[in-house]
Copies of this chain bind each other. A is one copy, B any other.
């Protein structure tokens, strides 16, 4: 038995998220089935965290145990071959100790949200960015973001079906930056609530276009009430960037 750590990239558009579902394609099921096709066993894949329908990943991490002896390179090549033509790519495969756990050992997760701030419709990046046509004020968005950094009760920014035991989370960093007509929102935390980043992004856009002041963001946080929420950003612009360990 050997445990492998996989680093995974995927386009979230054709999938009902990361986690295996009884109906509909998911990233976890696709990779588990690819293992089955080359290793003759369908193992269980443990991801660092779940992503929702339509959410992308550039550096998802997962671990898996395989009985038959394969080198990490062979595992990576075989998975990539069997995953074709699905838009899932194994970027890296490493042999790890049997006590490594992709979910429980993960010390930090980071996400990036990409907004395209222009009037014209998207072409090449459709499904991969959120098109916001109203002009956005990045300075105001950063002021609002600063109110959320740290340890808070994030009930306002939590999906109704979120399964976390507590709404208290520590947001390590939340930065907004502009490059041309793209706006990047980068968030890092030990862990996130369900829909937390998309909820926060929706509210940051309300600040950016002037419907909210930065102080309204603080009020929304302090309300600890989902009805104080602006609106959720769509999954299109959200990328799971990486998971950190050790």
Contact = CB atoms under 8 A, between A and B. Distances in A.
The oligomer's copy count stands at: 2
Contacts of A90: 120
A135 interface: no
Contact of A124 (B84, B91, B128): B128
B128 A89 contact: no
The interface size bin for chain A is: 20 to 34
Contact of A121 (B56, B80, B122): B80
A10 B123 contact: yes
Interface in A110-140: 118, 120-124, 126, 128
Contact of A123 (B89, B120, B122, B126): B89
Which one of A56, A123, A128 has the highest number of Cβ atoms from chain B below 10 Å of its Cβ? A123
A123 B80 contact: no
Contacts of A83: 121
Nearest to A7: B120
A126 B84 CA distance: 12
Interface string A1-43: 0000000011100000000000000000000000000000000
Contacts of A80: 120-121
Interface of A: 9-11, 56, 58, 76, 80, 83-84, 87-91, 118, 120-124, 126, 128
